[in-house]
Chains A and B, each alone.
Chain A
Amino acid sequence: MYDFLLRHLQPRWAGVAMAIWYGVLIALVLICAVAPRGAFTYMRL
């Protein structure tokens, strides 16, 4: 994805865009992990 962004943006802005993208995804995963349903409790070993 970073390579794709580099083709369209300056390296600095590509880096910022990646940081925002990863930040959003990590935040979503963490929010879902503490959700009442318990996103990580689906599949037991």
Chain B
Amino acid sequence: MHVLSLEWLAWMAGVTALFWLSPARLRDWSLVAATAAFLLLNAPVSLALLAAIVVATYWGAGPASTSGWRMLAFLAVVVSAMVAFKLRQGAATTLAGADVAIPLGLSYYTFRAMHYAIERYKGKLPPHRFGDFVCYMAFLPTILVGPIHRFPAFHRDRLRRQWSAQHVSAGLERILYGYVKVAVLCNVVVLGLFDRFIAELPHEAQGLRLYLAIVQSGLRLYLLFSGFSDVAIGFSRLLGYTIIENFDWPYLARNIQEFWRRWHISLTSFVRDYLFDFVAAATRQPALGMVASLVVIGLWHEVSLRYLYWGLYHGMGVLVWHQFQRVKPWLGKPGGPRLKPLRDALATLLTVHFVWFGFVLVEQPSLAAAFRVWSTILWPW
């Protein structure tokens, strides 16, 4: 089965019908059963891991009264397991040039488990039972590609949830937009037509070809990922849940910090809450917290050198932007309020190109290859 395939569409329709036709007290369990069946058919290893993490998180991490060391030990075990899988994936991709799939949804449900364990330890979760936590972890719409939604909002929706034609209508509309982004805009326009356009360019225009390939890659990543998120959010709405948004027009951001507030919002807010705040408070160095956060975001995708470079590249970008804010008042505002739209447009163009050039680091096999691409684009003569 493919993500966003017609089979997945059939799964969504079947699960939604089963969910609302089940007696109210069995609805959530019908969803848990559907998730288990889906994983059993497509990724049995992932099902076993999910079950182990659910049990370990609930019984292992413990509530606020337990020792902090127990919580830290739990986090260390969960992070080590995720890193081990991602290291394997990174090594296989870099060395053999082939993709090794990590267990389906592992990156998402381990982060959800960590969020739950930390908040429970802090005593900030609403009263609930083991079954509530199982329903949260085995929520089918967000199993595949996130977003990393939070337990309190999920639990609140679960208690208030009821059939609503408005929810269903909004959910269907969102799913349709997701499919349009992936199937029409990404696969046909960006990968199909744009590919053909690049192929027809004269061979001497190597710099232009590489530049357009970078633009294509940036658009493809955004359309794919935000399309998947749209489908997940829409599917959740069909079931009566409103989950966190993942993208907010990130390519219109006017600086790199704003970009990170609009791109993969559920991951960046997770890292901000559980890593940045901690590092910044412990070291009194917000800059260190920012770089550490972006490196972790990079390594979350894959534990490999290329994602480490990508995280550092963005970390440096944010640091430079912060330093620029200090000298900005002396530069004034060239052109005054009349030229603000032009200044904003230039800032957006600069930001989006910084992001697109950064994707070269993860798409090229080595740092040297990435530099060759950049130099061919910037100094083609």
Contact = CB atoms under 8 A, between A and B. Distances in A.
B296 to A, nearest CB: 24
A26 B182 CA distance: 13
Interface in A4-45: 22, 25-26, 28-29, 32-33, 35, 37, 39-45
Interface residues of B, number: 25
A32 to B, nearest CB: 4
B1 A25 contact: no
B173 A26 contact: no
Contact of B180 (A29, A35, A43, A44): A29
Contact of A40 (B4, B173, B192): B4
Contacts of A28: 180, 183-184
Contact of B2 (A22, A29, A45): A45
Interface in B1-34: 1-6
B42 A32 contact: no
Contact of A32 (B3, B43, B173, B183): B183
Chain A interface size band reads 10 to 19
Nearest to A33: B183
A40 B6 contact: yes
Contact of B187 (A1, A26, A39, A44): A39
A43 B186 CA distance: 12
Nearest to B4: A40
A42 B186 contact: yes
Max chain B CB contacts within 10 Å: which of A25, A26, A29, A41? A29
A45 B188 contact: no
A43 to B, nearest CB: 5
A35 B42 CA distance: 26
B176 A40 contact: no
Nearest to B220: A42
A33 B2 CA distance: 13
Interface of B is mostly: helix
B4 A43 contact: yes
Contact of B184 (A22, A39, A45): A39
Contacts of A33: 6, 183
Given A40-B5, A42-B187, A45-B1, A25 B43 contact: no
Interface string B31-69: 000000000001100000000000000000000000000
A45 B43 contact: yes
Nearest to B192: A37
B78 interface: no
B267 interface: no
Nearest to A1: B173
B316 interface: no
Contacts of A41: 2, 5
B349 interface: no
Nearest to B183: A39
Max chain B CB contacts within 10 Å: which of A26, A35, A40? A40
Contacts of B3: 43-45
Interface string B166-198: 000000010011011011101110011000000
Nearest to B228: A43
B275 interface: no
A19 B32 CA distance: 35
A32 B2 contact: no
Contacts of B177: 25
Interface of A: 1, 22, 25-26, 28-29, 32-33, 35, 37, 39-45
User: Which 4 A-B residue pairings sit nearest by Cβ, starting from the closest?
Assistant: A39-B183, A39-B187, A32-B183, A43-B3
17 contacts: A22-B176, A25-B180, A26-B176, A28-B183, A29-B180, A29-B183, A29-B184, A32-B188, A35-B188, A40-B2, A40-B183, A41-B2, A42-B187, A43-B2, A44-B2, A44-B3, A45-B104
